[in-house]
Structure 1
């Protein structure tokens, strides 16, 4: 269990950089995600070509994985959209809504009893986001996109809880991200017609940051997270990911000085969200004891 938590928090720390990189990369959200998936899928394909460790999956399992890949693609597009229309800090705080959605998705999909304490903690995170929205209404669209992103993010570990029992984390990561690339590629003609963007090809600096985003924040972080999911419940994983905004916001303050134009409501909201993380962590430790 200790190793699983260490893997999980290493993945969360790496994920904390994704918001910073999302702002550094000049591509719009759709093309940013497409290139991230393309580079990641190609990298994993080369790795498996030389190692030969890719597990085979049945056709029915591939369809289930494809659906999960679609969830990943949608989560990332909305997440980076939130960054582009608001800022890194707001997008990352909205990510904390996954605890609320997970409290309902996990019992519904995995057929478990609804835990009202989990619902309460999730609702507190939503209240924290509402505080930010109430005081900082200029981020309205960014907050909306961020909440939609968190909804898809909450589905991801719930779906993976069953899939990880049938495939290794490495194989599952490759199939899911390749599936996400296929789904996003099919949807790009519709996306381009509504959100064309300034450019399709990444600049040299964009490409270098995309490599960091793909190799460290995607390949490595995905594998660490899936390893942890073997021992930890989806809700615990989702709630632990509430620490991602803390890491990311700290980086955004350092790199972009976002603290200079965020109002008091932002800090009230973050404090409430952090409280939910502390309370749930204490609850998990008591259960273990």
Structure 2
């Protein structure tokens, strides 16, 4: 979770549009996963139906990462991570819309608590109109990730997760590539080095660690640990970027993180029941 949290800082370290950052991340993550699949002799053959579904999920992944990095570039690491942390609240809503799963009334209270936590963070930062758009992009990123989570849970849960990750990120790479023609900037050598570090170490390697951890601890415990991501990220941004951390930011962050952890616990209890 700490490595995933540090990913947010690359939005500040790489002086390129968010679209370019996501493209570079997908490029080297796909290459690293391909090498891993070949090394482990994982069969890369998939059905046409699964390929179509993975292209859709790859598009969701690209939208999620683009809006996430764009949100941070327009606001701060804290706001980008805290708005993304609200994704557990979207999952029950999406399950209701897609699969008519009943919504627990408690979800409304949890949503209001998260919104109040975001308000505290916003009040601490005195956002401009541009930053408000960044905040909305952060919430959109959370919705895309929640939809991706629901999609994966219902369609690809029987497949090798490394294989799924390879095709999702490869699909995102192909879908993003034509859009680079609209950009007039070219990455510097330093940007390419950061792309490699972000794609190989902070994406392919980190996701492999999460998959490996599932051999020893329940998936619910792994998903619950995602609530720690903004805590680590805000701390890292304070140390490495010098981003200010006010009392209101801390209170808002604690409220959002604890509410999302609460929502995840309730979700885990419901699924076990």
Pick from 163, 166, 169: which aligns with 2:161?
169
Q: In the TM superposition, what are the counterparts of 1:166-245 in structure 2 within 5 Å? A: 166-189=158-181, 192=182, 196=183, 199-201=185-187, 203-225=188-210, 228=214, 231-232=218-219, 240-245=225-230
Shift of 1:251: 0.3
Answering whether residue 73 of structure 2 is matched by residue 88 of structure 1, we say no
Task: Give the Cα separation in 1 of the matches to 2:206 and 2:98.
Answer: 25
Task: Give the Cα separation in 2 of the matches to 1:39 and 1:282.
Answer: 35
Q: Which residue of the partner structure matches residue 259 of structure 2? A: 276
Q: Which residue of the partner structure matches residue 147 of structure 2? A: 155
Pick from 115, 125, 128: which aligns with 1:126?
115
Question: What are the superposed Cα offsets for residues 172-215 of structure 1, whole Å, 9 maximum, x if unpaired?
Answer: 010110111111124444xx2xxx36x322x3332222222112
Task: Give the Cα separation in 2 of the matches to 1:119 and 1:224.
Answer: 34
Structure 1 pair 106–14 and aligned structure 2 pair: CA distance change class (3 A):
farther
Q: Which residue of the partner structure matches residue 3 of structure 1? A: none
> Does the CA-based 8 Å contact 1:104-1:114 persist in structure 2?
yes
Shift of 1:221: 2.8
> Does the CA-based 8 Å contact 2:89-2:263 persist in structure 1?
no
> Does the CA-based 8 Å contact 2:86-2:260 persist in structure 1?
no
Q: Secondary structure at the match of 1:137?
A: coil
Structure 1 pair 251–19 and aligned structure 2 pair: CA distance change class (3 A):
same
Shift of 1:285: 8.3
Shift of 1:101: 1.5
Structure 1 pair 26–65 and aligned structure 2 pair: CA distance change class (3 A):
same
Task: Give the Cα separation in 1 of the matches to 2:140 and 2:99.
Answer: 22
Structure 1 pair 109–264 and aligned structure 2 pair: CA distance change class (3 A):
same
Answering whether residue 132 of structure 2 is matched by residue 137 of structure 1, we say no
Q: Which residue of the partner structure matches residue 251 of structure 1? A: 236
Unaligned runs of 5+ in 2: none
Question: What are the superposed Cα offsets for residues 95-143 of structure 1, whole Å, 9 maximum, x if unpaired?
Answer: 1221222221134335432233344324322321133234522331221
Structure 1 pair 65–212 and aligned structure 2 pair: CA distance change class (3 A):
same
Pick from 2, 5, 8: which aligns with 1:19?
8
The two structures have a TM-score, normalised by structure 1, of: 0.81
The two structures have a TM-score, normalised by structure 2, of: 0.85
Structure 1 pair 98–282 and aligned structure 2 pair: CA distance change class (3 A):
closer
Task: Give the Cα separation in 2 of the matches to 1:239 and 1:217.
Answer: 20
Pick from 46, 52, 56: which aligns with 1:63?
52
Shift of 1:246: 0.7
Q: Secondary structure at the match of 2:16?
A: coil
Question: What are the superposed Cα offsets for residues 63-109 of structure 1, whole Å, 9 maximum, x if unpaired?
Answer: 11110010110111111111111121121111122122222113433
> Does the CA-based 8 Å contact 1:99-1:239 persist in structure 2?
no
Structure 1 pair 100–238 and aligned structure 2 pair: CA distance change class (3 A):
farther
Task: Give the Cα separation in 2 of the matches to 1:282 and 1:49.
Answer: 38
